[in-house]
């Protein structure tokens, strides 16, 4: 049977992979994919603790809220990436400081 520990291990791996992608990658798209992995790890934790600790839909409702926020974050980030690519011709994070006010 799959227990709480298994879900937490998977969530920890997702979080670690996301954090690694955010810290190592220079491409904006790869950084955003890392952020999405981190957000999904948090949502998995909410659902897991809702299932194993508390009996109720609070974890699922929170996870749905987190997913909706992730979609909104992805839309705003995509607009920023498109603007960055339009201005610079590349999606390199190191060159993003040129967009300062």
| pLDDT tens string 35-52 | 889 988 988 888 888 888
CA dist 76 and 89 (Å) reads: 19
pLDDT tens, residue by residue, 42-101? 888 888 888 888 777 777 888 888 888 888 888 888 888 888 888 878 777 777 776 666
Q: With bands split at pLDDT 50, 70 and 90, how would you rate the model's confidence at 23?
A: very high
Domain 4-99 in CATH 3.40.50.920? The answer is no
Q: Please, what sign has the CA dihedral across residues 40, 46, 49, 52?
A: negative
Residues whose CB falls within 8 Å of the CB of residue 43, separated by 6 or more in sequence, listed in order: 62, 63, 66, 67, 70
Q: Which residues pair with 27 in a beta bridge?
A: 92
Any idea how long the chain is? 101
């Amino acid at each position: 049977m799959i227990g709480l520990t298994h879900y937490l291990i998977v969530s920890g791996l997702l979080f670690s992979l996301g954090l690694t992608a955010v810290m190592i990658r220079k491409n904006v798209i790869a950084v955003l994919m890392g952020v999405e992995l981190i957000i999904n790890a948090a949502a998995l934790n909410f659902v897991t603790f809702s299932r194993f600790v508390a009996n109720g839909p609070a974890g699922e409702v929170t996870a749905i809220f987190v997913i909706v926020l992730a979609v909104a974050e992805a839309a705003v980030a995509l607009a920023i990436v498109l603007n960055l690519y339009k201005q610079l011709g590349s999606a390199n994070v190191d060159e993003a400081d040129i967009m300062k006010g």
